[in-house]
Chains A and B, each alone.
Chain A
Amino acid sequence: MNEQQIHSKITSLEIEVLKAVKQRTLEKHTEGPSVERERLFFLLLPFLDGKQWSADIEQTAKTVSIVYAALHAHDQVKEDILASKKQQLTVLAGDFYSGIYYQMLSNMENLTMIKHLASAIISVSERKASFYDQVERPIQLVDELIQKNEIELIEAFYNFYGYHEYTKLAKAMLSYVRYENELKCLKEGGQSRILQLLNKSLRYPADPEAWLLKKLDVLHDQVLELIRDAKFDYELKNFMLHKITPHQHRAEQLTREG
């Protein structure tokens, strides 16, 4: 499969997901469902890598993406501000998407996957809640919590269909994408819960930018090693390296350091 074909497969799944959760009012008043292409890529990776695949598996992949959208919607609910219409509907969007994934899997009679996804959501919610307790955690532990949350739902999907071999790579690459987004947010002067956590956990003087740059380097090395050892075809390897985790930060860091 060449780059164009990979792109169009991702787009086709993206369209399917958006169609499944379409709701007029939510579409009008909220930011709409967050469907990240990197995640869709990893849900499709077994197919792209030539593993056994079926319409049912693809439908399940769609439900995983819907769960991500549901959880993402609830992440967007702001702290302690008066309930605006957008905020109110964002809460309901998350609940609505949850109902949709449950209905889709019920109609497929895939009750085991409902259970697996529910367990994964429990773990993700517990970790996210832990970001709000008063416990001081070392940066390594915070990093691990963040990375686990990135992979949890996809891992449930991989485990269910026996695609365990992709977990490590997906975890490294999705964490890379997450931290890259956090770095972008930091550089633009934005704030996020993750950035707050990094600030809190890093030893004085806290320099989240330096930590993120270093982390991105480590993750990229890990990604390179995992891709090198995997038996993907050339096009797929190329796609991962250049479209999912293009690594610009090392150069930026070198420039910064003179």
Chain B
Amino acid sequence: MEKVKLKLLYSDIKPELDMIEKELEQAVDSESPLLNDASLHLLQAGGKRIRPVFVLLAGKFGNYNIDVMKRVAVPLELIHMASLVHDDVIDDSELRRGKPTVKAEWNNSVAMYTGDFILARALEYITEIEDPKLHQILSKTMIEVCRGEIIQIEDKYKLDQNLRDYLRRIKRKTALLISSSCELGALVSGADLKTAAHLRRFGYFIGMSFQIIDDILDFTSSDEELGKPAGSDFMQGNMTLPVLCARKDQAIYELLKNNLQKDMTDEERLTIVKTIRNSSAIEEAKKISEKYLEKALEELSYLPKSSASKTMRKIAFFIGKRKF
């Protein structure tokens, strides 16, 4: 149902998105049958394609030319894919979107080379755009994404971290790449700098909201809906917003503390998931997500009304209410 909703939201740019999908397949084509299979495996696992969608929509605020836009939209998705395949090694994840991860299907080394290959393809592809500024923005974002992940590992199992640490982390981990997708889409289409700045901020706020919802869903969705065990974030030591909100209750704090860095049984995992799900933490986290959503919508309000801004608005609402 949710996927159908998303498809409807994308209907204005469907032909272009279909083209991007084909380009993605071509981009991961490799002389190595193993890399070919691993990359296609990852690609065909699906995904929301939020980044290329925002590149294309942002491009509608300038001189939109799909042949130019795809040169940014495709690599942005590839960069995201490369980070996912490496993340699965970091998190030792067996499943992604209900399918075995590359590291589970093959092994860690194949996952590493697949990620390196996909990232290199992205850079090979995007260097067709000869604007150094674009590359400076993107490379800075890539470094910040890594810094965010490094900090995430440093902060693992730290139940007493503060909200600011969490927000800074998700900014780097998720929001910046979505923000850059919007900004680069605008810049490459020749939109004016003020428009590009509004779109960059829109992407940033949406990215923050998106990640918070993702973190909420990790507790509120079922294993089947998630395609992985619910509560995986906590099990891996990642203290997300619902946990940070829930720990204010002393009894929950004790429960969480007693289960940190421990091989949890399924029963213990589900107890934690249920406890957080039934606490006020979910509502509290949702409110913070909504604040970011409001800010994103405010940025959109500064832009000329168009079918692109309307679609962006709808996507923003979808992100705030999504269930997968």
Interchain CB contact under 8 A, A88 and B153: yes
Given contacts A80-B107, A102-B135, contact A128 B154 (CB under 8 A): no
Interchain CB contact under 8 A, A111 and B34: no
The size of the chain B interface, using a CB distance under 8 A, is: 48
Q: What B residues does A115 contact at CB under 8 A?
A: 123-124, 127
User: Complex Cα distance A103/B145, Å?
Assistant: 13
Q: Which of A82, A125, A128 contacts B120 (CB 8 A)?
A: A125
Q: Does B33 contact A (CB under 8 A)?
A: yes
Interchain CB contact under 8 A, B142 and A92: no
Q: Does A191 contact B (CB under 8 A)?
A: no
Interchain CB contact under 8 A, A92 and B149: yes
Q: What B residues does A117 contact at CB under 8 A?
A: 123
Given contacts A77-B112, A122-B121, contact A109 B132 (CB under 8 A): yes
Interchain CB contact under 8 A, B146 and A111: no
Interchain CB contact under 8 A, A125 and B130: no
Q: Does A246 contact B (CB under 8 A)?
A: no
Q: Does B139 contact A (CB under 8 A)?
A: yes
Q: What B residues does A26 contact at CB under 8 A?
A: 150
Please give the distance in Å from A87's CB to the nearest CB on chain B: 8
User: Complex Cα distance A79/B104, Å?
Assistant: 11
Interchain CB contact under 8 A, B120 and A83: no
Given contacts A111-B132, A115-B127, A130-B32, contact A99 B113 (CB under 8 A): no
Interchain CB contact under 8 A, B142 and A99: yes
User: Complex Cα distance A133/B31, Å?
Assistant: 13
Among listed B57-65, B86-94, B246-254, B294-302, interface-contacting one: B86-94
Which label, helix, strand, loop or mixed, suits the secondary structure of the B interface? helix
Interchain CB contact under 8 A, B107 and A79: yes
The size of the chain A interface, using a CB distance under 8 A, is: 50
Please give the distance in Å from A214's CB to the nearest CB on chain B: 28
Please give the distance in Å from A82's CB to the nearest CB on chain B: 6
Interchain CB contact under 8 A, B112 and A126: no
Q: Which of A89, A103, A105, A126 contacts B30 (CB 8 A)?
A: A126
Other than the given A118-B124, A119-B120, A127-B32, 15 more pairs (CB < 8 A) read A74-B113, A83-B92, A92-B146, A96-B147, A99-B146, A102-B123, A107-B136, A115-B123, A119-B124, A121-B116, A122-B121, A126-B117, A132-B34, A132-B109, A193-B109
Instruction: Give the A-binding residues of B (Cβ under 8 A).
Output: 30-35, 38, 83, 86, 89-92, 106-110, 112-117, 119-121, 123-124, 127, 130, 132, 135-136, 138-140, 142-143, 145-147, 149-151, 153-154, 156
Q: State the 4 A-B residue pairs at the shortest beta-carbon distance, nearest first.
A: A106-B135, A103-B139, A99-B143, A121-B120
